[in-house]
Amino acid sequence: MTYTARTFTLPELKGLSKKQLDVHIALYEGYVKHANLIMEKIDRLHADDAEGNAYLVAELRRRFGFEFDGMRMHEYYFEQFENGAQVPKNESPLLDVVLDKYESWENFIAQIKEVCGTRGIGWTVVYYDPAGRTLHTAWVNDHEIGQLAGLPIILAVDMWEHAYMVDYVPADKKTYVEAFLENVNWEVVEKRFLGEVV
C-alpha cells in the first residue's frame, strides 16, 4: 500500500494567500512521503531481521502515527475549503445537534475559537459522537495526541504555525482563525456529519 498526495481544488480564500496555501500543501505532501517511507522501512527491517530490528520497528511504528495523522488531518483541513465558503442550511441535521449542545450557531463558533486559542501546536477538532448524539470540540497535540478514539472528525482547524506563518505572525492567530472560519465550506462538514449519522 502506498499513499498518494491528494490534489485539492481550492478557490481564492479570504485572508489566506495562495503562497500560504502552496507552502502548506507542500508540507502536507511531505507527510504523505514520510508515511510511505516509514511503511517501506518497517517492511524492510522486518524482512531482514524481525527479532534483531524489533526496537527499530517499534519506534518507526510510533513515528508512523505522527506522519499518518499529519497526512490525514491535512486532508480534512484542505477539503473543507473546496468549492468555496458555504453557510450551513437552516434545516440541517448538523445545525440541530449544534443547537442541542450550544444553543446557537454563534456559541458553537465561539467554542471553536476558544479551543483554537489553546497555547501550543496542534489541531482544534470537532468530532461527532454517534453514541452520545453530541459534538465534542477538542485540542489535539501534534497530530495524534489527544484524538478522541473512534469518533469521526467533522471539522479540523490546523493550529500549527505553518498553517498561517506566511500571512500572520503567531500573535495574530486569532485573525487566522477568523479567516479559516470565513472560508469553510460547511456543506463538506455536513457531509462528514451525515456520513456518521445514518
**Ranges of the chain with pLDDT below 50:** 197-198
Report which DSSP code applies to 32. H
Residue 92 identity: S
The predicted pLDDT at position 19 comes to 98
- Residue 59 host element (H or E): helix 54-79
The predicted pLDDT at position 196 comes to 58
The predicted pLDDT at position 198 comes to 37
C-alpha 95/C-alpha 74 separation (Å) is: 24
The predicted pLDDT at position 87 comes to 87
8 Å CB contact between 138 and 146: yes
8 Å CB contact between 67 and 38: yes
Residue 152 identity: P
C-alpha 24/C-alpha 14 separation (Å) is: 16
8 Å CB contact between 44 and 194: no
The predicted pLDDT at position 177 comes to 98
Query: Does the pTM exceed 0.85?
Result: yes
Helix (H) and strand (E) counts in the chain:
6, 3
C-alpha 19/C-alpha 54 separation (Å) is: 42
Q: Which fold, 93-197?
A: minor pseudopilin epsh fold (3.55.40)
Q: What residues form DSSP beta bridges with 155? A: 126
Half-sphere exposure in the Cβ direction for 18 (13 Å, CA): 3
C-alpha 58/C-alpha 27 separation (Å) is: 25
Q: How many residues does the chain have?
A: 198
The predicted pLDDT at position 2 comes to 96
Half-sphere exposure in the Cβ direction for 156 (13 Å, CA): 28
